[in-house]
Amino acid sequence: MAVDNSSSAQSKSAAPVTDPGKIRNVVFVGSSGSGKTTVVEGLLLTTGEIGRAGSVAEGTTVTDYEDIEHRTNRSVGLALAPLSFGGVKVNLIDSPGYADYLGDLRAAIRAADAAVFVISAVDGISGATRLLWDELARERMPRAILITKLDNPRADYDAVAEACREAFGDSVLPMMVPIYQSEAEIGCLLDILTGKVVDFTSGKRVVRDAAGEEVGKMERNREAFIEQLITESGDEDLMEAYLEGGELDGEALKADLQKAMAAASFFPIMPMAAAGGIGSEDLLYLIRDGFPSPVVAAIPDVVDASGKTIDVSCDPKGPLVAEVIKTTQDSYVGRISIVRVFAGTLRAESTVHVEGAGAPYSDLGSHSSNERIGTLTSPLGAKQRPVPYAVAGDLAAVARLVGAETGDTLSDPSRVLIAQPWVSPEPMLPVAIKAVNSSDEDKLGTGLNRLVSEDPTLRVEHNQETRQTVLWTMGDAHVDVTFQRLADKFGVRVERVPYRVPLRETFAQKVQAEGRHVKQSGGHGQYAKCQIEVEPRAPGEGFEFVDKVVGGAVPRQFIPSVEKGVRTQMTKGVLAGYPVVDIRVTLFDGKAHSVDSSDAAFQMAGALALREAARKTGAISLLEPVVTMAILVDDEHVGAIMSDLSSRRGRLTGTESMAGGRTMVKAEVPQVEVTNYAIDLRSMSRGTGSFTSEYLGHEPMPQHRAEAVIKQTEEDKAK
C-alpha cells in the first residue's frame, strides 16, 4: 500500500484521541522466534516513538522497549506500545509466542481489533503456527500475514507465501512482493494493490512506477490478488469494471480491502526485513488504511446487573463499558491494570464500578466494588505518559485499581454493566510447592492470591487429602515465571515437592476387630470397648454405619461416638495415610464403665477398632483416581499418542476425526500416569496437541505400585 512519502513518518504524541475511528488496535501473533518483538520495535523506530541505541525520542530508548519484552515474559504477558501514524493512533500489542502463555494471547486478542500474524521466512510454518492461526480464526479476527527475516540468506518469500496459501486458504495472497538486488538484500517491493514499486536502492523509501521485468511480475501477481479481493468484498461494480478491463479506482480498492479484512475473509501477505527498516512503513499504511477501526469491530456481549442484554456501541458518549485485559504488580507503582474501553469514556480521577468476571455468565462467583481511578497513562516501556481520558476503542493503563482482576468489567456506578468474559484456557500441569522457611510461609498466601488475580491461567488448590498446596499451571515455563514473580514481587521463596495424587484406601474382605481404650492413672479414668465388623461395599457406595448392639452393651449415648471415631480414622487412613472409602462398619458389641466411660473414650475406641481391623485383615486395597481424557492431535501423531496411552495403563475408548486433519483420541487413564501430560503431549505432538480430562472414579491400584506407595509413605514417616 505505497504512499509517496520520501521523509520518514514522525510520531506526534499529543492530546488523547477523541474519535474512535482514528484508532487501530493491533495484536502481533506468532510462534516464539518469529520476530514479533523486532517488528514492533521497528515500527516504533519508524515513527520516532523510540530512538536507536544511544539516542532518545520521546524520552524512551530501545532499552526501554526491551523492558516491555522482559515484562511480557515475566509479568504483564502482553506489551502495549502506542504510536501515531498518519493521523491515526495505533496501539501495538506484542503477545507472547510460548504455548504456556495461551491465556495472555487470548487476552491480547480480546484487546485488539485486528492481528498481524508473524511468520519467519527462515522457519516457515509449523504445527504450532497453525494452532495460532486457528485461535484467531475462531474469533473471526481480521488479520494480515507478515513474513519476516527476509534479509537472511536462507529466506524464501515466495515459498513461505505459497505455504501460507496452502495452509490457510485461497484468500491468503501477497500484497507486496520483494525484489532482491543481491543475496539477502531487498532492493524494492512491488505493491500489488496500487501497482507501484517501493524502491529502497537509494537508501531512502521512494515510490515509482514499475519498469522492465517488474511489470511482468507485477501483472502476474496482481491478477489473482485483485480478483480475490473483489470477490471477498462483494463489490459488484468494481468486479464489473475489472472484467471489462477498465481502470480500477485506487480508493475503491482500498475500501474493498478494509471491508474484506473487517469480515475476516481476506488476508494479505506483507514482507519485512526489520533490520533495514524495509516494510515497516508499508505495514503501517496497511494498518491505517486496511485494518478495521474499533467503530466497525465487534464488541463483546454486555448485560446489566439483572442479566438483561444491553445494546452498546463504540460511542464515547455512551454508557461506560471497559474491561481489564491484564493486571500486574509494579514494585514502585503497585497494581497496574491494562484496560480496553469498549464503550463510553474512561476518565482520570473518576469513580467506576468494578464487577467480577464470573456472574452472571457463570456460577464461579463474583466480586464487585466502587473504586476511584487515579491517573490514566499510555504506557511505553518504563515510561508512563498521563492522559486525561480514554475514549471508546482505546487502551490505557490504570494504576492502583486495587479490587480489579483480569477479566473484570469497569462501568459507571449509576449503571452497572458487565461484558461477557473471554474463555481462558484450563491449566493442566499440577505442581506441589512448599515455602522455603517460616518467613516465606507467612507471606505465601497473600502472594499466591495476588498472582491468581493477575493470571486467570494460574489456579491454586489447597488439597486437604494430600495436605499439599498445588499450583495448576500451563507448563514448565509458566511454573518458572510464577516462582520468579513470587520471589521478586512478594519476597516469597518456594520449592517444588513431589506431587501426590489423592489416593483412597478400602477393605478387600470382611473382618471383625475390637477397639479397646482403657486408662486408669488416678482420678477420673477412661474406659471404652467396642467390637465392630468391617466389610467392603461396591465402588461409589460410600460409608455406612450399622448399629446392632443389644442389651445395652454400649450405652445409646455412646453409639454416635463410636461412629464419629470410625469416621475420623477413615479420613486419616489405615495403611498409607489416604482416606478410607466404600465400607460398611457394624457395631455389634462392646462394654462401658458407669464412671469412666465418655464420648471421647468411645471415639478413641472406634478409631482403634478400625485400625485393628486393618491390621488383622491385611487385605487393604489402594485405589487410584482414573480420568477420562480427550486428546486432540494432528492425524500424523495419532499412532504415537495411542501407543503412549497404552504404556500409561490407559484404556482407549475411541477416536473421532475432526476438521483440519486432526483426530480426537479418547481414553481412560490412571491420573498418576498423566500428572505431567501437559509437557509430554507437547513434546510428542511438536506443540500441536491439546487435551482435557475429567475425573471418572477410583479403581484398585496394581499391587506392585501400591507396595511402592506404601514403602514411600513409611520412608516419609521415618524422616
Question: pLDDT tier at 719 (50, 70, 90 boundaries)?
Answer: low
On whether the CB atoms of residues 489 and 333 are closer than 8 A, the answer is no
Report d(CA 157, CA 177) in Å as an integer.
8
Q: What is the pLDDT of residue 55?
A: 36
Tell me if 390 sits within 8 A of 379, measured CB to CB: no
Beta bridge pairs of residue 531 = 514, 589
Residue 645: what pLDDT?
A: 97
pLDDT in tens, 425-463: 999 999 999 999 999 999 999 999 989 888 889 999 999
Return the pLDDT at 428.
94
Mean pLDDT of 271-283: 89
**pLDDT at position 383:** 73
Structure confidence at residue 277 (pLDDT): 84
pLDDT level of residue 276 (50, 70, 90 thresholds): confident
Q: Is the pLDDT of residue 280 over 50?
A: yes
pLDDT score for 464: 86
Q: Please give the pLDDT value at position 357.
A: 66
- Residue 8: pLDDT band (50, 70, 90) is very low
pLDDT of 179 over the 50 cut: yes
Looking at 618-702, list the stretches that DSSP marks H as alpha helix, in order from N- to C-terminal side: 638-647, 677-684
Top-confidence residue, 578 or 360: 578
Q: What is the pLDDT of residue 67?
A: 41
Band the pLDDT of 365: cuts 50, 70, 90. very low
The pLDDT assigned to 382 comes to 63
Q: Does the pLDDT value for residue 65 go beyond 60?
A: no
Residue 112, pLDDT above cutoff 70: yes
Q: Helix, strand, or coil here: 287?
A: helix
Q: What is the pLDDT of residue 250?
A: 79
Q: To the nearest whole number, what is the mean pLDDT of the chain?
A: 88
Q: 25: helix, coil or strand?
A: strand
How far apart (Å, rounded) are the C-alpha atoms in residues 89 and 16?
A: 9
268 vs 357: which has the higher pLDDT: 268
pLDDT confidence tier of residue 480, bands split at 50, 70 and 90: very high
The pLDDT assigned to 57 comes to: 36
pLDDT of 32 over the 70 cut: yes
pLDDT at residue number 701: 93
Walk across the sheet containing 176-182 and list its strands.
176-182, 185-191, 196-199, 206-209
CA distances from 455 to 96, 393, 443, 452, 459 (A): 14, 24, 19, 5, 9
Q: For residues 522 and 241, which has the higher predicted lDDT (pLDDT)?
A: 241
Please list the helix, strand and coil fractions of the chain in percent, rounded to the nearest 5, in that order.
Answer: 30, 35, 35
Asked whether residue 72 carries a pLDDT value surpassing 50, the answer given is: no
Residues of the chain above pLDDT 90, percent: 66
- Which backbone phi and psi does 387 adopt, to 5 degrees? -135, 145
Sorted by where each starts, the structural domains of the chain and their CATH numbers stand as: 21-290 (3.40.50.300), 302-419 (2.40.30.10), 429-497 (3.30.70.870), 504-618 (3.30.230.10), 622-706 (3.30.70.240)
Q: pTM (2 decimals)? A: 0.84
